[in-house]
Amino acid sequence: MAVQKLGRGLIDRIARLIDFRVDERTRDLAARVNDLEHATADHRRRLDNAEHGLEHARGDLRWTRAELDRLIPHVAAQEGRLETLRESMALVPKADSAEMAEARTLIEEIQRQHAQIRVRLAGISRYEDRLRRLEDSISVPAGE
């Protein structure tokens, strides 16, 4: 009977040790499963946000494409008009170097005369300013 009791005690200890190890591994596995569930939920949320953003971008792309399709004929018409304008400008006769020199001389003369006019106007402005100051000093009563 003592041997049986000793055998049962040993068996009980081994069973508890095995149960402890199984429980420990079960807890570890449960924690890992829980972490994976949280990660999966986070991934699903992020994927939903990405899909929503992608759908928004697709809508913007459809609108942009429609606008582009609408504007292409207008741009083509403008390009045609520009080409017609370029061709008409090419038909203008080119001036020879003598005509260009004469035009430059006229432009320089006009610029010189404009400079002289500016100097004269500045002189007139100073003269008017002096007259105004003189008038102001005369209009002040002598008693003051």
CA–CA distance, 142 with 144 (Å, rounded to integer): 6
Residue 59: strand, helix, or coil: helix
Is 124 part of a structural domain of the chain?
A: yes
Q: Residue 36: inside a domain, yes or no?
A: no
In a domain, 70, yes or no: no
Distance CA 19, CA 11 (A): 12
Does residue 50 belong to any structural domain of this protein? no
In a domain, 10, yes or no: no
CA gap 67, 59 in Å, rounded = 12
Number of domains in the chain: 1
pLDDT for 46-99, tens place per residue? Answer: 999 999 988 988 889 999 999 988 888 888 888 888 888 887 766 656 667 888
Q: Which domain holds residue 122?
A: 96-144
Closest by CA to 20, choosing from 12, 8, 9, is 12
- Asked if residue 89 is part of any domain, the answer here is no
Determine, yes or no, domain membership for 64: no
Residue 143 has pLDDT above 60, yes or no: no
